[in-house]
């Protein structure tokens, strides 16, 4: 699939959704613009620009067109996916398991499992980072971090 065209299509749909949202919020009048006025204008603008991108993708030389698969060719994209999943899991469990457990697990998993660093580094660096962060937020900035179900 052509990368430019796909990107353009995505933003075209986004722009159309914004136009619909703007109409739904009410445009008001030119004398008294409503809540949806700028949304409608910005949505229409995004739709026009996205259409231009799609048209340009058809007019471009097919020999130099970039396919979606080319964007990830030769890249270790699975690592990016793994990091995204790990962040999502961190967020899901952050308030339940608490700051210490979640942070330690996240850092150790990335450093040991994903990056293959030595156990010494994997334990030392996160311990210092988590300890320092806790002290800065808890004692200097007086901001509470979630204790979680285990109370720490």
Partner 1 sequence: MDFADNLFTGLAVAFQPHNLLFCFIGVLIGTLIGVLPGLGPVGAMSILLPVTFGISPVTAIIMLSGIYYGAQYGGSTTSILVGIPGEAASVVTMLDGHQMALKGRAGPALGIAAFGSFIAGTLGIIGLMLLAPPLAAVALRFGPPEYFALMIMGLIILTYLAQKSMVKSLMMAGVGILIGMVGLDTMTGMPRFTFDVPDLIDGVGIAPLAMGLFGVSEILLNVEQTIKQSVVVKQVKNLLPSKQDWKDSAMPIARGSIAGFFLGILPGGGAVLASFISYGIEKRMSKHPETFGHGAIAGVAGPESANNAAAQAAFIPLLTLGVPANAVMGILLGALLIHGITPGPMMIQKNPELFWGTVTSMYVGNLMLLVLNLPLIGLWVRLLKVQYAVLFPLILFIALIGAYVINGSEMDLYLMLFFGVIGYLMRKFDYEPAPLILAFVLTNILEDSLRQSLIISGGSMSIFVTRPIAAGFLFVSLVLLITAVMPSIRKKRSALAATADENA
Q: Which of 63, 64, 69, 143: binder of partner 1 (CB under 8 A)?
A: 143
118 binds partner 1 (CB under 8 A): no
| 129: phi then psi, degrees, rounded to nearest 5 | -65, -45
Q: Which two tokens stand for residue 80?
A: 């990016």
Q: Tell me the C-alpha to C-alpha distance, in Å, between residue 128 and each of 51, 69, 123, 132.
A: 51, 40, 9, 6
39 binds partner 1 (CB under 8 A): yes
Residue 84 DSSP SS3: helix
Round to whole Å and give the CA distance between 57 and 4: 6
Mention every residue, 6+ apart, whose C-beta is less than 8 A from residue 104.
Answer: 126, 127, 130
Q: What's the N-to-C CA distance of the chain in angstroms?
A: 50
97 binds partner 1 (CB under 8 A): no
120 binds partner 1 (CB under 8 A): no
Q: Which of 16, 27, 33, 60: binder of partner 1 (CB under 8 A)?
A: 33
Q: Which of 16, 42, 60, 123: binder of partner 1 (CB under 8 A)?
A: 42
31 binds partner 1 (CB under 8 A): yes
The residue ranges that bind partner 1 (CB under 8 A) are: 3-4, 6-7, 11, 14-15, 18, 21, 25, 29-39, 42-43, 45-46, 49-50, 52-53, 56, 71-72, 75-77, 79-80, 83-84, 87-88, 90-91, 94-95, 99, 103, 106-107, 110-111, 114-117, 121, 125-126, 129-130, 133, 136-137, 140-145
């Amino acid at each position: 699939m052509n990368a430019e065209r796909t990107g353009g299509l995505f933003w075209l749909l986004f722009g159309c959704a914004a136009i619909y949202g703007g109409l739904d919020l009410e445009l008001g009048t030119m004398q008294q613009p409503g809540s949806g006025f700028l949304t409608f204008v910005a949505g229409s603008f995004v739709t026009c620009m996205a259409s231009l991108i799609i048209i340009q993708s058809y007019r471009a030389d097919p020999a130099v067109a970039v396919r979606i698969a080319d964007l990830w060719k030769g890249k270790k994209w699975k690592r990016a996916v793994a990091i995204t999943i790990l962040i999502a899991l961190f967020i899901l469990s952050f308030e339940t398991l608490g700051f210490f457990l979640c942070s330690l697990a996240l850092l150790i998993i990335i450093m040991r499992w994903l990056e293959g660093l030595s156990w010494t580094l994997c334990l030392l660096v996160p311990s210092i980072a988590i300890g320092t962060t806790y002290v800065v937020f808890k004692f200097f900035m007086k901001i509470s971090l979630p204790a979680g179900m285990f109370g720490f």
